[in-house]
Amino acid sequence: MNIIIVGCGRVGRSIAEQLNMEGHSITVIDESSEALEKISDTQNVMAIEGNGATYSILREAEIYNCDLLIAVTATDELNLYTCLLAKNAGVSSTIARVRDPEYISDVEIIKEDLKLTLAINPEYTCASEIARLIKYPGAVKMSSFSKDMIDFIKVKLSNNAPITDKRVADCASILKGAVRICYVERGGEFSIANGDFILRSGDLVSLVAPAGAAAKLLKSLGTLSNKGRSVLILGGSKIGFYLAKILRQTGINVKIIEKDPHRCDELVEDLDGVMIINADAMDEDLLMSEHIDRADAVVCLMNTDEENLLASLYAKQVNPKAKIVTELGNLKFSSVVDTLPLDSVIRPKQLTGEHIIRYVRGMQNTVGNNVETMYKVSGDRAEALEFIVRERSAVTSVPIIRLNLKPDLQIACIVRGGSVIIPGGNDTIEVGDRVVVITKHKGLSDLRDILR
Protein backbone atom coordinates (compact mmCIF):
# COMPACT_ATOMS: atom_id res chain seq x y z
CA MET A 1 0.00 0.00 0.00
CA ASN A 2 1.01 3.63 -0.56
CA ILE A 3 0.95 5.31 2.85
CA ILE A 4 1.69 8.93 3.74
CA ILE A 5 2.66 9.78 7.33
CA VAL A 6 2.48 13.46 8.28
CA GLY A 7 4.61 14.09 11.36
CA CYS A 8 8.01 12.51 12.02
CA GLY A 9 8.25 12.80 15.77
CA ARG A 10 8.77 9.75 17.97
CA VAL A 11 5.31 8.34 17.22
CA GLY A 12 5.45 9.02 13.48
CA ARG A 13 8.91 7.49 13.25
CA SER A 14 7.80 4.39 15.17
CA ILE A 15 4.76 3.93 12.91
CA ALA A 16 6.88 4.39 9.78
CA GLU A 17 9.38 1.79 10.97
CA GLN A 18 6.68 -0.78 11.73
CA LEU A 19 4.78 -0.23 8.47
CA ASN A 20 8.04 -0.30 6.51
CA MET A 21 8.77 -3.72 8.00
CA GLU A 22 5.31 -4.79 6.81
CA GLY A 23 6.41 -4.07 3.22
CA HIS A 24 4.42 -0.91 2.48
CA SER A 25 5.56 2.09 0.42
CA ILE A 26 6.00 4.88 2.98
CA THR A 27 6.26 8.65 2.44
CA VAL A 28 7.03 10.76 5.52
CA ILE A 29 6.35 14.53 5.66
CA ASP A 30 7.77 16.85 8.30
CA GLU A 31 9.06 20.40 8.58
CA SER A 32 12.17 19.22 10.43
CA SER A 33 15.03 18.27 8.11
CA GLU A 34 16.84 16.72 11.07
CA ALA A 35 13.92 14.36 11.84
CA LEU A 36 13.64 13.35 8.19
CA GLU A 37 17.37 12.73 7.90
CA LYS A 38 17.26 10.50 10.98
CA ILE A 39 14.54 8.24 9.56
CA SER A 40 15.99 8.24 6.02
CA ASP A 41 19.29 6.93 7.38
CA THR A 42 17.66 3.83 8.86
CA GLN A 43 14.46 3.17 6.87
CA ASN A 44 13.51 2.73 3.23
CA VAL A 45 11.09 5.66 3.07
CA MET A 46 10.60 8.77 0.94
CA ALA A 47 11.12 11.92 3.01
CA ILE A 48 9.57 15.28 2.08
CA GLU A 49 10.36 18.45 3.99
CA GLY A 50 7.44 20.83 4.41
CA ASN A 51 4.01 21.44 5.90
CA GLY A 52 1.85 18.38 5.38
CA ALA A 53 -1.31 20.47 5.82
CA THR A 54 -0.84 22.15 2.42
CA TYR A 55 -1.95 20.88 -0.98
CA SER A 56 1.41 21.69 -2.56
CA ILE A 57 3.31 19.38 -0.23
CA LEU A 58 0.63 16.69 -0.38
CA ARG A 59 0.76 16.80 -4.19
CA GLU A 60 4.55 16.40 -4.00
CA ALA A 61 3.89 13.29 -1.88
CA GLU A 62 1.56 12.01 -4.64
CA ILE A 63 -1.57 12.28 -2.52
CA TYR A 64 -3.70 11.20 -5.48
CA ASN A 65 -2.04 7.76 -5.43
CA CYS A 66 -2.28 7.41 -1.65
CA ASP A 67 -4.21 4.53 -0.07
CA LEU A 68 -3.90 5.77 3.54
CA LEU A 69 -2.86 9.02 5.20
CA ILE A 70 -1.81 9.08 8.86
CA ALA A 71 -1.51 12.46 10.60
CA VAL A 72 0.48 12.35 13.86
CA THR A 73 1.93 15.84 14.28
CA ALA A 74 2.08 17.42 17.75
CA THR A 75 -1.09 19.47 17.04
CA ASP A 76 -4.54 17.85 17.03
CA GLU A 77 -6.08 20.57 14.87
CA LEU A 78 -3.34 20.21 12.27
CA ASN A 79 -3.87 16.45 12.18
CA LEU A 80 -7.61 16.87 11.65
CA TYR A 81 -7.14 19.52 8.96
CA THR A 82 -4.57 17.37 7.14
CA CYS A 83 -7.01 14.47 7.07
CA LEU A 84 -9.73 16.77 5.72
CA LEU A 85 -7.42 17.86 2.87
CA ALA A 86 -6.59 14.22 2.15
CA LYS A 87 -10.28 13.31 2.01
CA ASN A 88 -10.93 16.15 -0.42
CA ALA A 89 -8.06 14.85 -2.56
CA GLY A 90 -9.78 11.47 -2.77
CA VAL A 91 -7.90 9.45 -0.13
CA SER A 92 -10.34 6.83 1.10
CA SER A 93 -8.74 6.16 4.49
CA THR A 94 -7.36 8.69 6.98
CA ILE A 95 -6.13 8.35 10.57
CA ALA A 96 -5.59 11.25 12.96
CA ARG A 97 -3.94 11.37 16.35
CA VAL A 98 -6.21 13.34 18.70
CA ARG A 99 -4.72 13.78 22.17
CA ASP A 100 -6.30 16.83 23.80
CA PRO A 101 -8.54 15.91 26.74
CA GLU A 102 -11.03 18.55 25.59
CA TYR A 103 -11.75 16.46 22.48
CA ILE A 104 -12.14 13.09 24.20
CA SER A 105 -15.93 13.27 24.44
CA ASP A 106 -16.25 14.54 20.86
CA VAL A 107 -14.06 11.97 19.10
CA GLU A 108 -16.94 10.01 17.57
CA ILE A 109 -18.62 13.20 16.32
CA ILE A 110 -15.32 14.42 14.86
CA LYS A 111 -14.77 11.08 13.12
CA GLU A 112 -18.22 11.20 11.54
CA ASP A 113 -18.09 14.86 10.48
CA LEU A 114 -14.59 14.64 8.98
CA LYS A 115 -15.15 11.09 7.70
CA LEU A 116 -12.06 9.84 9.54
CA THR A 117 -11.37 6.14 9.42
CA LEU A 118 -9.72 6.15 12.82
CA ALA A 119 -9.02 8.68 15.57
CA ILE A 120 -6.25 7.54 17.92
CA ASN A 121 -5.60 8.85 21.41
CA PRO A 122 -2.45 7.02 22.56
CA GLU A 123 -2.50 8.58 26.02
CA TYR A 124 -6.07 7.52 26.74
CA THR A 125 -5.36 4.01 25.44
CA CYS A 126 -2.34 3.75 27.77
CA ALA A 127 -4.33 5.08 30.72
CA SER A 128 -7.05 2.47 30.13
CA GLU A 129 -4.48 -0.32 30.08
CA ILE A 130 -2.84 0.94 33.28
CA ALA A 131 -6.23 1.13 35.00
CA ARG A 132 -6.84 -2.51 34.05
CA LEU A 133 -3.49 -3.51 35.57
CA ILE A 134 -4.31 -1.67 38.79
CA LYS A 135 -7.63 -3.51 38.94
CA TYR A 136 -5.73 -6.83 38.62
CA PRO A 137 -2.33 -6.14 40.22
CA GLY A 138 -1.29 -9.79 40.00
CA ALA A 139 -1.04 -9.42 36.23
CA VAL A 140 2.10 -8.12 34.53
CA LYS A 141 0.02 -7.21 31.48
CA MET A 142 -3.64 -7.49 30.48
CA SER A 143 -5.32 -7.11 27.10
CA SER A 144 -8.61 -8.20 25.63
CA PHE A 145 -9.91 -9.84 22.47
CA SER A 146 -13.31 -10.41 20.87
CA LYS A 147 -14.87 -7.21 22.16
CA ASP A 148 -13.73 -7.92 25.72
CA MET A 149 -15.00 -11.53 25.71
CA ILE A 150 -11.46 -12.90 26.15
CA ASP A 151 -8.77 -11.77 28.59
CA PHE A 152 -5.12 -12.04 27.59
CA ILE A 153 -3.13 -12.17 30.84
CA LYS A 154 0.61 -12.24 31.56
CA VAL A 155 1.78 -13.34 35.02
CA LYS A 156 5.11 -14.08 36.70
CA LEU A 157 5.25 -17.50 38.33
CA SER A 158 6.33 -17.70 41.95
CA ASN A 159 7.93 -20.67 43.71
CA ASN A 160 4.62 -21.68 45.26
CA ALA A 161 2.41 -21.27 42.17
CA PRO A 162 0.52 -24.54 41.60
CA ILE A 163 1.74 -24.84 38.00
CA THR A 164 5.43 -24.20 38.75
CA ASP A 165 7.54 -27.25 37.71
CA LYS A 166 4.52 -28.71 35.88
CA ARG A 167 4.06 -29.66 32.22
CA VAL A 168 1.82 -27.32 30.24
CA ALA A 169 -0.35 -30.31 29.32
CA ASP A 170 -1.13 -30.85 33.03
CA CYS A 171 -1.98 -27.23 33.82
CA ALA A 172 -5.58 -27.20 32.55
CA SER A 173 -6.68 -29.70 35.20
CA ILE A 174 -4.78 -27.76 37.90
CA LEU A 175 -6.25 -24.38 36.99
CA LYS A 176 -9.74 -25.90 36.52
CA GLY A 177 -11.24 -23.76 33.82
CA ALA A 178 -11.19 -22.69 30.20
CA VAL A 179 -7.58 -21.50 30.25
CA ARG A 180 -4.75 -21.91 27.76
CA ILE A 181 -1.07 -21.21 28.31
CA CYS A 182 0.09 -19.57 25.09
CA TYR A 183 3.72 -18.62 25.50
CA VAL A 184 6.48 -18.35 28.07
CA GLU A 185 9.35 -15.88 28.48
CA ARG A 186 12.38 -17.10 30.42
CA GLY A 187 15.79 -15.49 30.73
CA GLY A 188 15.46 -13.59 27.47
CA GLU A 189 14.16 -16.65 25.62
CA PHE A 190 10.66 -16.79 24.13
CA SER A 191 8.74 -20.06 23.62
CA ILE A 192 5.28 -20.83 22.28
CA ALA A 193 4.56 -23.55 24.79
CA ASN A 194 3.65 -27.07 23.70
CA GLY A 195 2.25 -29.70 26.02
CA ASP A 196 5.65 -31.01 27.12
CA PHE A 197 7.04 -27.61 28.08
CA ILE A 198 7.84 -27.47 31.83
CA LEU A 199 7.12 -24.21 33.64
CA ARG A 200 9.63 -22.81 36.14
CA SER A 201 9.60 -20.24 38.92
CA GLY A 202 10.24 -16.76 37.53
CA ASP A 203 8.73 -17.55 34.12
CA LEU A 204 6.55 -14.89 32.52
CA VAL A 205 3.54 -16.91 31.41
CA SER A 206 0.85 -15.56 29.09
CA LEU A 207 -2.62 -17.13 29.16
CA VAL A 208 -6.00 -16.64 27.55
CA ALA A 209 -9.24 -17.10 29.49
CA PRO A 210 -12.89 -16.02 29.21
CA ALA A 211 -13.58 -12.48 30.39
CA GLY A 212 -14.45 -12.35 34.08
CA ALA A 213 -12.18 -15.26 34.97
CA ALA A 214 -9.12 -13.09 35.61
CA ALA A 215 -9.63 -12.59 39.36
CA LYS A 216 -10.21 -16.30 39.97
CA LEU A 217 -7.28 -17.27 37.75
CA LEU A 218 -4.85 -14.87 39.44
CA LYS A 219 -5.96 -16.09 42.86
CA SER A 220 -5.42 -19.72 41.86
CA LEU A 221 -1.91 -18.82 40.70
CA GLY A 222 -1.13 -17.32 44.09
CA THR A 223 -0.78 -13.71 42.89
CA LEU A 224 -2.47 -10.72 44.50
CA SER A 225 -5.88 -10.06 42.97
CA ASN A 226 -7.34 -7.31 45.15
CA LYS A 227 -7.39 -4.06 43.20
CA GLY A 228 -5.58 -1.04 44.56
CA ARG A 229 -7.51 1.50 46.63
CA SER A 230 -4.79 4.18 46.70
CA VAL A 231 -2.66 5.12 43.70
CA LEU A 232 0.33 7.47 43.53
CA ILE A 233 1.02 8.90 40.06
CA LEU A 234 4.46 10.41 39.46
CA GLY A 235 4.10 12.96 36.66
CA GLY A 236 1.08 14.95 35.52
CA SER A 237 1.23 14.10 31.81
CA LYS A 238 -1.81 13.50 29.60
CA ILE A 239 -1.61 9.81 30.49
CA GLY A 240 -1.61 10.75 34.18
CA PHE A 241 -4.62 13.01 33.65
CA TYR A 242 -6.65 10.34 31.85
CA LEU A 243 -5.61 7.68 34.36
CA ALA A 244 -6.63 9.81 37.35
CA LYS A 245 -10.00 10.48 35.74
CA ILE A 246 -10.62 6.77 35.08
CA LEU A 247 -9.54 5.71 38.57
CA ARG A 248 -11.65 8.34 40.33
CA GLN A 249 -14.72 7.02 38.51
CA THR A 250 -14.13 3.67 40.23
CA GLY A 251 -13.71 5.22 43.67
CA ILE A 252 -9.93 4.86 43.95
CA ASN A 253 -7.98 7.51 45.88
CA VAL A 254 -5.50 9.21 43.55
CA LYS A 255 -2.54 11.50 44.22
CA ILE A 256 -0.43 13.15 41.48
CA ILE A 257 3.05 14.62 42.02
CA GLU A 258 4.02 17.13 39.28
CA LYS A 259 6.90 19.63 39.41
CA ASP A 260 5.56 22.10 36.82
CA PRO A 261 3.37 24.62 38.70
CA HIS A 262 1.48 25.65 35.55
CA ARG A 263 0.62 22.03 34.80
CA CYS A 264 -0.50 21.58 38.42
CA ASP A 265 -2.93 24.48 38.01
CA GLU A 266 -4.39 22.79 34.91
CA LEU A 267 -4.77 19.47 36.73
CA VAL A 268 -6.43 21.08 39.76
CA GLU A 269 -8.93 22.77 37.47
CA ASP A 270 -9.80 19.64 35.48
CA LEU A 271 -9.62 16.86 38.09
CA ASP A 272 -12.14 16.70 40.93
CA GLY A 273 -11.26 14.67 44.01
CA VAL A 274 -7.61 14.17 43.05
CA MET A 275 -4.80 15.50 45.28
CA ILE A 276 -2.26 17.45 43.18
CA ILE A 277 1.18 18.06 44.74
CA ASN A 278 3.58 20.56 43.15
CA ALA A 279 6.95 18.93 43.82
CA ASP A 280 9.78 16.96 42.23
CA ALA A 281 8.84 13.27 42.15
CA MET A 282 12.55 12.34 42.09
CA ASP A 283 12.96 13.59 45.68
CA GLU A 284 13.19 10.54 47.97
CA ASP A 285 12.23 12.48 51.12
CA LEU A 286 9.21 13.91 49.34
CA LEU A 287 8.10 10.47 48.15
CA MET A 288 8.34 9.04 51.66
CA SER A 289 6.42 11.99 53.10
CA GLU A 290 3.66 11.23 50.57
CA HIS A 291 3.63 7.59 51.72
CA ILE A 292 4.98 5.86 48.63
CA ASP A 293 5.71 2.95 50.95
CA ARG A 294 1.98 2.51 51.69
CA ALA A 295 0.42 3.03 48.25
CA ASP A 296 -1.33 0.09 46.61
CA ALA A 297 0.01 1.15 43.22
CA VAL A 298 2.69 3.55 41.94
CA VAL A 299 2.60 4.72 38.31
CA CYS A 300 5.70 6.43 36.89
CA LEU A 301 4.81 8.81 34.06
CA MET A 302 7.57 11.42 34.13
CA ASN A 303 9.29 13.08 31.18
CA THR A 304 12.21 10.67 30.70
CA ASP A 305 12.64 6.92 30.69
CA GLU A 306 15.59 7.28 33.06
CA GLU A 307 13.45 9.03 35.68
CA ASN A 308 10.67 6.48 35.31
CA LEU A 309 13.06 3.53 35.62
CA LEU A 310 14.81 4.90 38.71
CA ALA A 311 11.54 5.87 40.40
CA SER A 312 10.05 2.43 39.67
CA LEU A 313 13.05 0.60 41.11
CA TYR A 314 12.96 2.81 44.19
CA ALA A 315 9.20 2.28 44.64
CA LYS A 316 9.64 -1.50 44.38
CA GLN A 317 12.43 -1.36 46.96
CA VAL A 318 10.48 0.60 49.59
CA ASN A 319 7.08 -0.97 48.78
CA PRO A 320 7.56 -4.47 47.36
CA LYS A 321 3.85 -5.34 47.66
CA ALA A 322 2.68 -2.40 45.54
CA LYS A 323 1.80 -2.64 41.86
CA ILE A 324 4.44 -0.64 39.96
CA VAL A 325 3.72 0.55 36.41
CA THR A 326 6.47 2.16 34.31
CA GLU A 327 6.04 4.23 31.14
CA LEU A 328 8.87 3.90 28.62
CA GLY A 329 8.81 6.08 25.52
CA ASN A 330 12.01 4.68 24.01
CA LEU A 331 11.70 1.18 22.56
CA LYS A 332 15.48 0.68 22.44
CA PHE A 333 17.44 -1.40 24.97
CA SER A 334 14.36 -3.53 25.60
CA SER A 335 16.60 -6.55 26.26
CA VAL A 336 18.17 -4.66 29.17
CA VAL A 337 14.84 -3.40 30.49
CA ASP A 338 13.47 -6.95 30.45
CA THR A 339 16.12 -8.00 32.98
CA LEU A 340 15.09 -5.33 35.52
CA PRO A 341 12.71 -6.15 38.40
CA LEU A 342 9.81 -4.15 36.94
CA ASP A 343 6.16 -5.14 37.36
CA SER A 344 4.52 -3.73 34.23
CA VAL A 345 5.93 -1.60 31.42
CA ILE A 346 3.75 0.59 29.18
CA ARG A 347 5.03 1.76 25.78
CA PRO A 348 2.69 4.39 24.21
CA LYS A 349 4.41 4.42 20.81
CA GLN A 350 4.10 0.67 20.49
CA LEU A 351 0.39 0.74 21.35
CA THR A 352 -0.22 3.40 18.69
CA GLY A 353 1.65 1.42 16.07
CA GLU A 354 -0.30 -1.73 16.90
CA HIS A 355 -3.63 0.05 16.41
CA ILE A 356 -2.59 1.36 13.01
CA ILE A 357 -1.02 -1.88 11.76
CA ARG A 358 -4.17 -3.73 12.81
CA TYR A 359 -6.23 -1.42 10.62
CA VAL A 360 -3.79 -1.58 7.69
CA ARG A 361 -3.86 -5.38 7.69
CA GLY A 362 -7.65 -5.27 7.64
CA MET A 363 -7.49 -2.97 4.58
CA GLN A 364 -5.18 -5.41 2.80
CA ASN A 365 -7.37 -8.44 3.34
CA THR A 366 -8.82 -9.95 0.19
CA VAL A 367 -10.85 -12.95 1.35
CA GLY A 368 -12.65 -11.47 4.35
CA ASN A 369 -10.81 -13.11 7.25
CA ASN A 370 -9.86 -9.72 8.71
CA VAL A 371 -7.37 -9.10 11.48
CA GLU A 372 -9.70 -7.64 14.08
CA THR A 373 -7.18 -7.26 16.92
CA MET A 374 -3.38 -7.42 17.02
CA TYR A 375 -0.86 -7.13 19.84
CA LYS A 376 2.91 -7.20 19.71
CA VAL A 377 4.16 -9.90 22.05
CA SER A 378 7.36 -9.79 24.09
CA GLY A 379 8.66 -6.63 22.49
CA ASP A 380 8.41 -7.58 18.83
CA ARG A 381 9.25 -11.26 18.93
CA ALA A 382 5.74 -12.53 18.22
CA GLU A 383 2.17 -11.40 17.61
CA ALA A 384 -1.23 -12.24 19.01
CA LEU A 385 -3.84 -11.92 16.26
CA GLU A 386 -7.61 -12.17 16.24
CA PHE A 387 -9.22 -13.13 12.93
CA ILE A 388 -12.89 -12.98 11.97
CA VAL A 389 -13.83 -15.93 9.71
CA ARG A 390 -16.19 -14.51 7.08
CA GLU A 391 -16.19 -17.32 4.51
CA ARG A 392 -15.17 -20.91 3.95
CA SER A 393 -11.52 -21.68 3.22
CA ALA A 394 -8.85 -24.34 3.64
CA VAL A 395 -8.87 -23.84 7.41
CA THR A 396 -12.62 -24.20 8.04
CA SER A 397 -14.49 -27.39 9.02
CA VAL A 398 -11.22 -29.33 9.37
CA PRO A 399 -10.17 -30.77 12.76
CA ILE A 400 -7.28 -28.67 14.05
CA ILE A 401 -5.14 -31.78 14.47
CA ARG A 402 -5.35 -32.28 10.68
CA LEU A 403 -4.39 -28.72 9.76
CA ASN A 404 -0.84 -28.40 8.49
CA LEU A 405 0.01 -25.48 10.77
CA LYS A 406 3.21 -23.49 10.56
CA PRO A 407 5.73 -24.12 13.35
CA ASP A 408 5.91 -21.59 16.20
CA LEU A 409 2.18 -20.96 15.95
CA GLN A 410 -0.73 -21.78 18.23
CA ILE A 411 -4.50 -21.49 17.88
CA ALA A 412 -5.20 -20.12 21.36
CA CYS A 413 -8.98 -19.90 21.42
CA ILE A 414 -12.17 -19.63 19.37
CA VAL A 415 -15.24 -17.52 20.06
CA ARG A 416 -18.45 -18.95 18.61
CA GLY A 417 -21.92 -17.62 19.24
CA GLY A 418 -20.98 -15.89 22.46
CA SER A 419 -19.09 -18.90 23.87
CA VAL A 420 -15.32 -19.14 24.37
CA ILE A 421 -13.74 -22.42 23.22
CA ILE A 422 -10.25 -23.50 24.24
CA PRO A 423 -9.76 -25.81 21.25
CA GLY A 424 -8.50 -29.36 21.28
CA GLY A 425 -7.30 -31.38 18.32
CA ASN A 426 -10.81 -32.42 17.25
CA ASP A 427 -12.30 -28.92 17.31
CA THR A 428 -12.83 -27.08 14.04
CA ILE A 429 -12.88 -23.47 12.84
CA GLU A 430 -16.20 -22.43 11.30
CA VAL A 431 -17.57 -19.44 9.40
CA GLY A 432 -18.56 -16.73 11.86
CA ASP A 433 -15.91 -17.67 14.43
CA ARG A 434 -13.39 -15.32 15.96
CA VAL A 435 -10.02 -17.06 16.15
CA VAL A 436 -7.07 -15.94 18.29
CA VAL A 437 -3.65 -17.04 17.03
CA ILE A 438 -0.24 -16.66 18.70
CA THR A 439 2.69 -16.76 16.28
CA LYS A 440 6.33 -15.84 15.77
CA HIS A 441 5.59 -15.28 12.07
CA LYS A 442 5.22 -11.59 11.19
CA GLY A 443 2.73 -10.00 8.81
CA LEU A 444 -0.11 -12.56 8.85
CA SER A 445 -3.18 -10.80 7.40
CA ASP A 446 -5.33 -13.77 6.37
CA LEU A 447 -6.31 -16.78 8.47
CA ARG A 448 -5.06 -19.06 5.70
CA ASP A 449 -1.56 -17.74 6.44
CA ILE A 450 -1.42 -20.05 9.49
CA LEU A 451 -0.95 -23.00 7.13
CA ARG A 452 2.46 -24.09 5.85
Question: Domain extents for the chain?
Answer: 2-120, 138-220, 230-346, 357-450
At 435, is the pLDDT very low, low, confident or very high (cuts 50, 70, 90)? very high
CATH node for 230-346? 3.40.50.720
Contacts of residue 376, defined as CB under 8 A and 6 or more positions apart, other chains included, come to 350, 353, 354, 382, 383
Condensed to tens digits (0 to 9), the pLDDT of residues 86-126 reads 999 999 899 998 888 777 777 778 778 778 888 888 888 89
* Mean pLDDT across 395-416: 94
| pLDDT above 50 for 366 | no
Mean pLDDT rounded to a whole number for the chain: 88
Indicate the DSSP class of residue 405. B
At 325, is the pLDDT very low, low, confident or very high (cuts 50, 70, 90)? very high
The total of other beta-carbon atoms located within 10 Å of residue 129's CB is 21
Q: pTM for the complete prediction?
A: 0.81
Who wins on pLDDT, 229 or 226?
229
Secondary structure (H, E, C), 62-102: CHHHCCEEEECCCCHHHHHHHHHHHHHCCCCEEEEECCCHH
Per-residue confidence (pLDDT) for residue 228, from 0 to 100: 67
Domain 357-450 has CATH 3.30.70.1450: yes
Amino acid identity, position 35: A
Poorest-pLDDT segment among 221-230, 387-396, 438-447: 221-230
| pLDDT above 50 for 381 | yes
Element holding 118 (H helix, E strand): strand 118-120
Same fold, 2-120 and 230-346: yes
* Strand, coil or helix: 377: strand
Poorest-pLDDT segment among 97-111, 409-423, 429-443: 97-111
CATH node for 2-120? 3.40.50.720
Per-residue confidence (pLDDT) for residue 364, from 0 to 100: 65
CA R_g for the chain: 23
Condensed to tens digits (0 to 9), the pLDDT of residues 145-163 reads 777 788 888 998 988 899 9
Domain 138-220 has CATH 3.30.70.1450: yes
Per-residue confidence (pLDDT) for residue 370, from 0 to 100: 67
Residue of 79, 77, 129 whose CA lies nearest to 102: 77
430 vs 392: CA distance, rounded Å: 8
Is the Cα torsion angle 107, 108, 114, 119 positive or negative in sign?
positive
Range 319-336 burial, b when 16+ CB lie within 10 A, else e = beebbbbbbbbebeebee
